Amino acid sequence: MTISQAMVLAAGLGTRMRPITDTLPKPLVKVAGKTLVDYALDHLSQAGVETAVVNIHHFPEMMLAHLAQRPAPRILISDERDGLMNNGGGLAKGIKLLQPGPLLVMNADLFWIGEPKGQPTNLQRLGAAFDPAAMDMIMLCVRLEQTTGHNGKNDFNLGTDGRLTRYKSDDPNPVVYAGALAMDRALLDDAPQDAFNLNIYFDTAITKGRLFGLMLEGEWLTVGTPEAIGEAEAVLARLPQGA
């Protein structure tokens, strides 16, 4: 299916990015002259997303001013100035601004390059693979050797049937969660009203056999520390296809 709405998780404090984030929200940190949030929003726009919610907390006025300059997708703001909601609570709050139905979710501190030209994008493939009858969520996943700026740890094992389970050291097909997923808005209808971690829903979906994975095509970059900026820029210089 084509998914036309999304949420970008962008409200965190970016503590590992200090001292840069002492004066700047992490999503506005630039890599090769482009902000992290724009990498995420460009991925979504290229995939056909027309409306995206972005949550804000740290230096909110700077975020609002920057997002107001974007022509696409249409931006809706989920305001967390009164208190951070963690990734689960922030998502549950923000998607209430969207229409019922499927949506994409992206973290604001990562992107990828090197998608095959002339082929569906990673997010288009993710949307096409999402089957709400069989899945709670489908995650974009990546091999450890295709990552830059990551902590070196695997997150899940991808089964031959496409299902994900938590990674164990003897698993045959370890993968890293690439920070993007597809789900239906109704999945979080029963979510707590306060802050919580989205891992609760990941684990519930695993228990039910309803967490699936799809492999990313290209190189995945996550930018969580000042050092990771230079690492990402080196990859961009080596693989200039663009994000």
Residues 108, 219 contacting (CB under 8 angstroms):
no
What pLDDT score was predicted for residue 2? 85
What pLDDT score was predicted for residue 242? 46
The CATH code of the domain that includes 18 is 3.90.550.10
Does residue 175 sit within a domain?
Answer: yes
Nearest to 167 by CA among 129, 197, 203: 203
Residue 139: strand pairing partners: 181, 213
pLDDT, averaged in runs of 10, over the chain (243 residues): 93 88 93 95 96 94 95 94 90 96 96 93 97 97 94 93 95 96 96 92 97 97 93 86 47
Its domain, for residue 51, covers: 5-238
What pLDDT score was predicted for residue 84? 85
Using alpha carbons only, what angle is made at residue 171 by residues 165 and 175, rounded to the nearest 5 degrees? 65
Domain count, the chain: 1
Residue 133: strand pairing partners: none
Residues 104, 162 contacting (CB under 8 angstroms):
no
What pLDDT score was predicted for residue 241? 53
What pLDDT score was predicted for residue 213? 98
Does residue 95 sit within a domain?
Answer: yes
Does residue 166 sit within a domain?
Answer: yes
Does residue 243 sit within a domain?
Answer: no
Does residue 176 sit within a domain?
Answer: yes
Helices of type H across the chain: 36-46, 60-67, 86-94, 122-129, 199-207, 226-238
